[in-house]
């Protein structure tokens, strides 16, 4: 059990840049400052003595708010290191102080777990300690969190802001930094879904390998850059066109078949209740007609339609497997 005593501490003696126990980053604290101005500090910050002054254990925002208010001294809980309290005890207090008041985002959880792992001698005990502090982890996730905290700050912040997932961040770590930043900026501006992000990354990596160029150069070239500069498109339209152009670069024959299919399908003018289903990714020559009917008369009528369709130039064009260079 950590022991403390209460004492007024000069704000100038507190090192607000010491991140030893910091779990969350600073946010807008104007409301907190107004609250402290009106009724004072309800929950006292905790600090520990260092050779140069004091290090914050918990209460970063409260102390910063006091700085905004030009407060010279504030009452703090001082950690008594003459007792059995240790640095991991202080870290547990810092984590609990956050998890009991706000929900940590993924990046904040990762930072908390990595800090704990650095102080926890028994790695098998780490998940139990974390779970008791309100963070559900296992050993596999601990390693992923460690990888996340080794990524550049900019990539970490994208994860913290829910631009993309931990899995995507780890994928970006496999790329050169310029390409990783280019994809991160792309996802930040267009906000594709997780599935769309995985699709774009896989296709871009494949194209870069085929063309022996970097992903960042691909994103900066036509036709991808042309799509990104189309201000007449809304976000969803831009994502769809972007996915199409990237897919076209990776699978030129498939996208050619696909484009020809939709052009001729529109000209086929199929009756209601009849659909033409293409093969997946146009890799097979087998197409399927799906016919809905309620009685034999309707079935006969649609059977006649199928006979007429079998003679149409548009259907012949769809079934043609040849692609002109």
112-157, pLDDT tens digit by residue?
Answer: 999 999 988 787 889 899 999 989 998 889 999 999 999 998 899 8
The confidence score (pLDDT) of residue 85 equals 59
250-265, pLDDT tens digit by residue?
Answer: 888 777 778 888 888 9
| pLDDT at residue 323 tops 60 | no
Q: Is residue 47 helix, strand or coil?
A: strand
The confidence score (pLDDT) of residue 295 equals 93
- Residues 94 and 113: beta-carbon distance below 8 Å: no
Long-range contacts of 268-276 (CB under 8 A, 24+ apart): 268/309, 268/312, 268/314, 268/315, 268/318, 270/305, 270/309, 271/302, 271/305, 273/298, 273/302, 274/302, 274/305, 276/318
Mean pLDDT, residues 266-279 taken together: 91
Mean pLDDT, residues 229-235 taken together: 90
Sheet holding 4-10, edge to edge: 4-10, 73-79, 46-50, 53-58, 14-15
pTM over 0.75: no
Mean pLDDT, residues 195-222 taken together: 94
Q: For residue 325, name the pLDDT band (cuts at 50, 70, 90).
A: very low
Containing 60, the helix (H) or strand (E) segment is helix 60-68
12-43, pLDDT tens digit by residue?
Answer: 999 999 999 998 876 778 888 999 999 989 89
């Amino acid at each position: 059990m950590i022991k403390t005593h209460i004492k007024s501490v000069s704000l100038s003696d507190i090192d607000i840049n010491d991140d030893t126990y910091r779990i969350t980053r600073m946010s807008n604290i104007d409301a907190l400052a107004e609250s402290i101005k009106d009724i004072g500090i309800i929950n006292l910050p905790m600090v520990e003595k260092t050779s140069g002054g004091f290090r914050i254990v918990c209460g970063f925002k409260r102390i910063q708010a006091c700085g905004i208010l030009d407060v010279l001294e504030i009452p703090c809980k001082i950690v008594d290191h003459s007792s059995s309290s240790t640095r991991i005890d202080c870290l547990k207090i810092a984590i609990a102080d956050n998890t009991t008041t706000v929900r940590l985002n993924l990046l904040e959880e990762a930072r908390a777990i990595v800090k704990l792992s650095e102080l926890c001698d028994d790695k098998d005990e780490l998940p139990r300690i974390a779970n008791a502090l309100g963070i559900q982890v296992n050993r596999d996730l601990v390693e992923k969190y460690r990888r996340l905290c080794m990524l550049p700050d900019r990539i970490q912040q994208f994860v913290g802001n829910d631009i993309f997932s931990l899995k995507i961040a780890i994928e970006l770590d496999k790329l050169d930094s310029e390409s990783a930043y280019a994809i991160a900026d792309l996802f930040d501006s267009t906000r594709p879904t997780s599935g769309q992000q995985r699709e774009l990354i896989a296709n871009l990596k494949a194209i870069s390998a085929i063309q022996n160029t970097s992903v960042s150069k691909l994103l900066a070239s036509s036709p991808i850059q042309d799509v990104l500069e189309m201000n007449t498109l809304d976000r969803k339209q831009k994502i769809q066109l972007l996915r199409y152009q990237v897919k076209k670069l990776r699978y030129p024959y498939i996208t050619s078949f696909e484009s020809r299919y939709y052009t001729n399908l529109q000209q086929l003018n199929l009756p209601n209740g009849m659909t033409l289903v293409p093969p997946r990714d146009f890799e097979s020559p087998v197409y399927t007609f799906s016919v809905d009917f309620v009685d034999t008369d309707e079935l006969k009528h649609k059977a006649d339609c199928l006979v007429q369709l079998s003679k149409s130039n548009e259907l012949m064009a769809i079934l043609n497997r040849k692609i002109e260079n």
